[in-house]
Structure 1
Amino acid sequence: MTAKQKAEDAETKSKVDNRAGIERAIELTMRLLKVEKITYNRWLDIAAKETKQPNKKDRTFWRNLADIEDQLDKTHYNKRLLRPKRDPNIPNAEKIYQLVNCPDKVRLVSMIALAHIILASRALNKTEMDQLVTTLQSTLALNEQEQFKLAVAGDQGSYVTSPRRPPLLAYLGQITAAIEQHQRLVFTYQNAEGESKIHEAQPETLFFDTYYFYVVMRLKPEADYLLFRLDRITAIKEVKSGAVPQQHFRLREYRQQTYLLAMGEPIVFSFKCWISPQTALERFPGSTEKVDSKTGDTVITA
């Protein structure tokens, strides 16, 4: 092999190595942005490399981390690279590196306020509500997450909702997409008496009001709107093409009503229920029902 060929081969190998190094650094960055925790051993798997060094140190690994840290600083990205604390009991190859949010006092207070609001809404079952609170918590820096947990612990620990509340987040996502894309839905709806019926309608607006999500739909474009409670939709069977709404539901006008602030000493009261008893029981968590033996009327105690 001539000297020229050797030089060309060396140049080609250098280009291949540089390309592999760039791809490796990009993949490492993307994994960190996806909240993956990286160890040296994990990096070896990503890089498809082997090391013969007994102390598990590799200059390429440290260079990749240093480059990522430098770019985070230069671009003023709102995350930083969390390096592991010095601990002689943890081998270098198993120490964890991850991206974490930078502290932000305004964001912390905002997330605490949002958590209290959604917990007071009683909108979701316990599992989905815990999931939502955890999502809010994950947007904060690690030290802020502890402050957040302490701030909402009492509210979250005393969370009360209807024991029959079904999972809602999946349907909420489907209906939101249908509204955006002007689609019609074929769905099963269970009324207050527990009777199920299949409807076909086009959702127009989704909003929350006093413990429940409501979906505004029209059976036909020219028809008046109907309100369906999201928690009573038991199945979405089909999605069809719809049309741009010819008329629009006026949510602001709908909200023009009086709200009373709960003040004073708590009382227990009973009333005759002329609507579905289940609707009343869901509106007053912990309430009970009985039938008056003399009149046959349903009486709710709350």
Structure 2
Amino acid sequence: MKGRERAVDVLVKLLAGGKITTDTNGKETYQVSERSLERDTKLIRETLADNDSAYQLQQKGKTYWLEKDGALSAEEILALIKIVIGTRSLTREELLRVKDSLLDLVADNKRGPIQKLISNSLVHYTPLFSNGDKEILPLLKDFANWVSHKTPIKFHYRSSVPDAQGRALSKPGSGVPLSIYFADFYFYVVMYIPEINKSLVYRLDRFQDARTTRAVVKVPGDKKIDEGALRNKTYLLSGGTDIPYEFRYWGYPQTALDKLPNSRITEWNREDGSVTIKGDHLASQGALLWVLSQGAQIQVVAPQSLVDSVKRELTKTMSYYD
């Protein structure tokens, strides 16, 4: 084997994760002197440097191996993996694949510490019950493509409300996917529905047999999504008519501000420790659900329609305990 051919063979083995030595084992493998193998390693090191390669040739004694510089820092990879684990939105198999892909982006010598820091989280990882073992990434791939090309699709959508026998019902539908976002454990799709000339929010994991159609649908300009506004609106606070609102809040203020995008504190009420929080756009249906979840920490001041809705729900709730 000629010098350059041998150097290529050595490089291929190193890229595959192997190690080579310039001692007796290496000399016997290639039937050359130690000096020849050292020339090969020097050539590889210079070639990697000249081409700004992400790999670096490492050496300890007479043993050589490659290490890859990270495309991302160790702390960035750790943060991303922890975030993915915390969402619980992927199946265990999907999570492990994503974890491995992310670890490939960090320098080889930084992977061990990250593995240790996430090992306990992986052992106790529990995906969302509603997802079961249904992989979400294939759906995400399809919908991302349809959003990019504004492709009309047909589908069946599983309702969140079961029938009298406890079965999840699926209804047919059609529309044009406009955007995808993530909030409160789930991925969501904003879809223009030509039948009603509206854009509605759907949960990605509830789609069944979604497929493209030959229909030609033109999405009106006023039905397209403002990506900036979308990022500031969670699915929990969607549904119903957008309303301006005013609350008095006795809990930790940041808890409310984090959940109510674009809200603001307008008054600190030092006598009772509450704050007054106002905002301009809150979906009425989602607002009711969130207010009820806060118990006695919140009082709705406006609008009156939301005050009346809270009263009705609380009266109904109290009737369960008569």
Q: Same fold (TM over 0.5)?
A: yes
Which residue of the other structure, out of 97, 107, 121, is the alignment partner of 1:131?
Answer: 97
Distance (whole Å) between structure 1 residues aligned to residue 213 and residue 66 of structure 2:
40
Distance (whole Å) between structure 2 residues aligned to residue 109 and residue 179 of structure 1:
32
Which residue of the other structure, out of 56, 63, 67, is the alignment partner of 1:80?
Answer: 56
Residue of structure 1 equivalent to 2:206: 232
Residue of structure 2 equivalent to 1:44: none
Q: Which amino acid aligns with 1:100?
A: E
**Relative to total residues, which structure has the larger strand share, 1 or 2?**
2
Q: Which amino acid aligns with 2:69?
A: C
Q: Relative to 1, partners in 2 of residues 1:197 and 1:74: Cα closer, same or farther, differing over 3 Å? A: same
Which residue of the other structure, out of 83, 97, 102, is the alignment partner of 1:117?
Answer: 83
Offset of 1:144 from its aligned partner? 0.5
Q: Which amino acid aligns with 1:182?
A: K
Q: Relative to 1, partners in 2 of residues 1:179 and 1:103: Cα closer, same or farther, differing over 3 Å? A: closer
Distance (whole Å) between structure 2 residues aligned to residue 36 and residue 243 of structure 1:
49
RMSD: 4.4
Which residue of the other structure, out of 132, 155, 158, is the alignment partner of 1:190?
Answer: 158
Which residue of the other structure, out of 134, 148, 159, is the alignment partner of 2:114?
Answer: 148
Which residue of the other structure, out of 149, 159, 167, is the alignment partner of 2:135?
Answer: 167
CA contact under 8 A between 2:154 and 2:175: conserved in structure 1? Answer: yes
Which residue of the other structure, out of 154, 178, 186, is the alignment partner of 1:204?
Answer: 178
Task: Note if 1:57 corresponds to 2:30.
Answer: yes
Q: Describe the SS at the equivalent of 1:183.
A: coil
Task: Note if 1:181 corresponds to 2:149.
Answer: yes
CA contact under 8 A between 2:194 and 2:217: conserved in structure 1? Answer: no
Structure 1: give runs of 5+ residues left out of the alignment: 1-16, 41-52, 88-96, 262-274, 276-294
Distance (whole Å) between structure 1 residues aligned to residue 208 and residue 10 of structure 2:
42
Distance (whole Å) between structure 2 residues aligned to residue 32 and residue 238 of structure 1:
45
Q: Relative to 1, partners in 2 of residues 1:149 and 1:219: Cα closer, same or farther, differing over 3 Å? A: same
CA contact under 8 A between 1:215 and 1:227: conserved in structure 2? Answer: yes
Residue of structure 2 equivalent to 1:253: 229
Q: Which amino acid aligns with 2:30?
A: K
Residue of structure 2 equivalent to 1:107: 73
Offset of 1:171 from its aligned partner? 1.1
Distance (whole Å) between structure 2 residues aligned to residue 168 and residue 153 of structure 1:
23
Figure out how many residues of one structure are paired with residues of the other and give that number. Answer: 225
Q: Relative to 1, partners in 2 of residues 1:244 and 1:73: Cα closer, same or farther, differing over 3 Å? A: farther
Deviates more, 1:210-219 or 1:245-254: 245-254
For residues 164-215 of structure 1, give each alpha carbon's deviation from its aligned partner in whole angstroms, at most 9, with x where no partner exists.
4120111111111111122122223211131123322211100000000001
Distance (whole Å) between structure 2 residues aligned to residue 98 and residue 224 of structure 1:
59
Offset of 1:68 from its aligned partner? 4.1
Q: Which amino acid aligns with 2:78?
A: I
CA contact under 8 A between 1:221 and 1:245: conserved in structure 2? Answer: no
How does the TM-score come out when normalised to structure 2?
A: 0.55
Identity of aligned residues (%): 17
Distance (whole Å) between structure 2 residues aligned to residue 131 and residue 244 of structure 1:
38
Structure 2: give runs of 5+ residues left out of the alignment: 21-25, 162-167, 238-256, 261-284, 286-315
CA contact under 8 A between 1:78 and 1:101: conserved in structure 2? Answer: yes
How does the TM-score come out when normalised to structure 1?
A: 0.58
Q: Relative to 1, partners in 2 of residues 1:36 and 1:56: Cα closer, same or farther, differing over 3 Å? A: closer
